[in-house]
């Protein structure tokens, strides 16, 4: 709960902080990494620092959290906190690291705001920060306790590496030691940590794309990102027999296996969590009503096409719709519509839970269409690969 002393100060300064938070986070990261370069080894993504995504995500989360405290001082934004906590635990964030962030973040605030960063303003925003940090620490402690082991990473050996769609690759791993394996849920992700040529380790989260309930295999399907560091290493340097580090599975956007109708809407490589969800429905013999919606530029780009189509064939109450920007040469049986995904004319199941995954503009557009069609906003869930830029916007 935000104190009555701090609330009016935060409310009065939120427009200024909100306007400046993007620049503040840039100064924060620059100062922290200059003083603590070891934090770039296996924790923070250099690629997301370079493209600005991490700075935007941090700024968005702070602004969203502070806005919620001002509007609802007696509660916390649980969905925002849960999403951040799952990302943090997949990277092994520890409670003492929140003090490090605080020190450099508030040094950046003081530098950026100058004389406007009065003792009163700093005290109020410090309260905001520690309310957020303490809530995250509590959630993260619970998430760590749910795992089958007490390790952040364990070794996994690559057993298979196969092309899967344009610039996409499916990697299959088996445990490389006797560390107890946590059973995942459909829709969850793991962090992979790999050593790069300069000696630093870098991490990236990838959704599990198959066999999520297995304790003997982890399956990741990744798209090559030339602006990144981890996917180029995996696609070009990782060979069968190599051992990498994988985290326990995390992610709060998971398929409710016992609920009512569901709609899964994806685009591009966003199909990976839906592929695992469909496979899980097959393995449990589900007869749920499922509507699968997917969009691609062209059919040949579709990663996991065969896996998804095979799952749809095996499920008794599943309908699939496909959109292609270019339908030239499309397999006739797919009956793809041309253009971008459009929900007009599609009957969405009553009280359906909807799951979105794909590029941010795609998810925003489809979410708006779904709400217009009568789907309750609280029933629409989204998964973002990398820093959550939905909040930043």
- Give the residue numbers annotated as catalytic, written as ranges: 98, 140
Count the Cβ atoms, other than its own, within 10 Å of residue 70: 17
**Residues 166, 279, 357, 26: is their CA dihedral positive or negative?**
negative
Closest C-alpha among 181, 227, 177, 226 to residue 208: 181
Interatomic CA distance for residues 86 and 71, integer angstroms: 25
Q: Where are the alpha helices (DSSP H) in 52-96?
A: 53-71, 78-91
User: DSSP for 247-285?
Assistant: E--B-S----TTSS-EEEEEEGGGHHHHHHHHHHHHHTT
Alpha helices in the chain (DSSP H): 6-35, 46-51, 53-71, 78-91, 97-113, 119-145, 230-236, 271-283, 305-314, 360-372, 389-392
Taken as a whole, the chain contains a residue count of 393
Closest CA to 280 of 378, 183, 191, 204: 183
Q: Report CA dihedral (137, 387, 254, 273) to the nearest 10 degrees.
A: -150
Strand order in the sheet with 380-383: 337-338, 318-324, 290-296, 262-267, 353-357, 380-383
Nearest residue to 88 via CA among 166, 152, 30, 174: 152
Three-class secondary structure of residue 102 per DSSP: helix
**Dist. CA 320–CA 180, nearest whole Å:** 37
The residues with which 321 forms a beta bridge, in sequence order, are 293
**Tokens standing for residue 346:** 């599609």
Q: Taking Cα atoms as reference points, which of 324, 393, 383 lies closest to residue 359?
A: 383
């Amino acid at each position: 709960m935000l104190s009555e002393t701090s609330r009016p100060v935060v409310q009065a300064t939120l427009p200024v902080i909100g306007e400046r938070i993007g620049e503040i986070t840039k100064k924060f990261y620059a100062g922290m990494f200059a003083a603590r370069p070891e934090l770039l080894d296996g924790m923070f993504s250099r690629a997301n620092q370079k493209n600005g995504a991490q700075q935007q995500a941090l700024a968005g989360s702070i602004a969203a959290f502070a806005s919620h405290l001002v509007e609802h001082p007696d509660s916390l934004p649980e969905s925002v906190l849960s999403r951040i906590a799952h990302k943090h635990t997949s990277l092994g964030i520890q409670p003492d690291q929140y003090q490090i962030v605080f020190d450099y973040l508030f040094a950046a605030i003081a530098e950026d705001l100058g004389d406007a960063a009065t003792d009163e303003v700093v005290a109020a925003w410090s309260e905001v920060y520690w309310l957020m940090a303490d809530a995250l620490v509590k959630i993260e402690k619970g998430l760590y306790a749910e795992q089958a082991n007490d390790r952040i990473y364990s070794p996994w050996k690559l057993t298979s590496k196969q092309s899967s769609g344009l610039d996409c690759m499916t990697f299959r791993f088996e445990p490389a030691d006797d560390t107890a394996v946590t059973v995942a849920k459909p829709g969850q992700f793991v962090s992979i940590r790999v050593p790069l040529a300069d000696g630093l380790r870098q991490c990236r989260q990838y959704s599990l794309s198959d066999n999520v309930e297995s304790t003997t295999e982890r399956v990741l399907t990744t798209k090559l990102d030339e602006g990144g560091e981890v996917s180029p290493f995996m696609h070009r340097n990782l060979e069968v027999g190599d051992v990498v580090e994988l985290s326990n599975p995390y992610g709060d956007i998971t398929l409710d296996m016992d609920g009512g109708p569901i709609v899964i809407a994806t685009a591009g490589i966003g199909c990976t969590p839906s592929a695992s969800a469909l496979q899980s429905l097959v393995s449990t013999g589900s007869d749920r009503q499922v509507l699968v919606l997917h969009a691609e530029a062209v059919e040949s780009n579709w990663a996991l096409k065969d896996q998804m189509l095979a799952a749809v064939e095996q499920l008794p109450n599943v309908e699939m719709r496909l959109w292609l920007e270019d339908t030239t040469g499309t397999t006739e049986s797919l009956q793809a519509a041309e253009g971008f995904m459009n929900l007009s004319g599609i009957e969405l199941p009553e009280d359906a839970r909807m799951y979105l995954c794909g590029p941010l503009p795609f998810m925003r557009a489809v979410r708006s269409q779904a709400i217009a069609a009568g789907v309750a906003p609280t029933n629409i869930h989204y998964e973002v690969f990398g820093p959550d830029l939905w909040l930043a916007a």
